[in-house]
Amino acid sequence: MHIPGRDVSREANPASHDLGELAEGIVPQLQRASGVSWYEDEGNDVDQAVAALCRIRRSGASARSSAGGGDAAVREMLTLVDPATVTWIASRMVSYMDEQGFPDTVPEPGEATPEA
């Protein structure tokens, strides 16, 4: 798979260059994270992989001039690893969201949306 930005100089397009650099290391990083428990140590391989995906999203959004471009960059990176690894990383992301209280901000089906 061609990784966008791999051949772009930092001077020509900093965001594309950053995306290329991040993308080069994401596969081994995701593979190291697969199966690793995340509750014992902060900054473990799963935390590092999720943070890298967030940085890829930011660089991808900037390089592609849209939030959707960042989301697409993350999906592209996830297609490079096996489904079990993607499932493991997805379970960690759900844990992060749950631990930050995200479910409490989403109305139950049929409930009125809280006013801001």
Residue 64 lies in a domain: yes
Distance (Å, rounded) from C-alpha 99 to C-alpha 108? 18
Name residues of the chain where pLDDT drops below 50. 1-2, 4-5
Residue 90 lies in a domain: yes
Residue 7 lies in a domain: no
Q: H/E element holding 86?
A: helix 83-99
State the residue range of the domain holding 22.
Answer: 14-99
> Are the CB atoms for 74 and 56 separated by under 8 Å?
yes
Domain count within the chain: 1
CA atoms within 13 A on the CB side of 58: 9
Residue 8 lies in a domain: no
- The predicted structure's pLDDT at residue 13: 61
Residue 113 lies in a domain: no
Handedness of CA 51, 20, 61, 113 (dihedral sign): negative
Beta strands per DSSP E along the chain: none
- The predicted structure's pLDDT at residue 75: 95
Residue 89 lies in a domain: yes
Residue 107 lies in a domain: no
- The predicted structure's pLDDT at residue 2: 45
- The predicted structure's pLDDT at residue 12: 58
